[in-house]
Amino acid sequence: MESQIKELKRLLNEEKNKNQILINENINLKNKINYLNNELSKMKNYELRIKSLENEIKQKNSEIQQYQLNIDNSQLGSSIKSIKPGEKILGLNFVGMGYDLGSYCLTCKNTDLFVRLEERLYKDFPDLTNFEIFFEVNARRIKRFKTIEENKIKNNDIINIFGIDK
């Protein structure tokens, strides 16, 4: 009987050891599960942040496209889409001295560089590129790389176009 008790104690100890190993393994697995849940939560936060940033990028790209469209339209002579505080919309009349431009009027902002109007003029009248051209308003020579306002050009001013054969 004593040998049976010893055997039972030994088996009990073995089972206790096995049980302790399983408890430790269970604790390790729970720790791993907690760690992985935390990592998953971080990943979900990253995914939300990425989606938010993607939406922000889409919005910024849309704004950029709108700005580019406004720039392209203003360079093509289309109507001006928007103005900022302090900007004014002007209509300028161009008269070719020796050139048949007809009644040519361009709309612009007082903050536009005159050279941008000149580009639009060349786009509509490509033959003008065959001449050395200068512009005057109210008997004053216009500086190409200054704004309309800096050149003291007012709404409905007549801009004379003078050219020299190349």
Residue where a domain terminates, one of 78, 110, 126: 78
Residue 2 sits in the same domain as residue 61: yes
Task: For residue 83, tell me if it sits in a domain.
Answer: no
**Last residue of one domain, picked from the residues 78, 103, 125:** 78
For residues 30 and 50, state if they share a domain: yes
Strands of the chain, DSSP E? 89-96, 104-109, 131-137, 140-141, 158-165
Assess whether 67 and 10 both reside in one domain. yes
* Whether 107 and 132 share a structural domain: yes
Distant-in-sequence, close-in-space partners of 107: CB < 8 Å, separation ≥ 6: 77, 79, 80, 89, 90, 91, 92
Domain that holds residue 111: 89-165
- How many angstroms separate the CA atoms of 120 and 102, rounded? 16
CATH code of the domain containing 131: 3.10.20.90
pLDDT score at 80: 61
Tally of domains within the chain = 2
In a domain? residue 9: yes
Q: What is the pTM of this model?
A: 0.50
pLDDT, mean of each 10-residue run, the chain (166 residues): 88 93 94 94 91 91 78 54 80 83 84 92 87 90 94 92 75
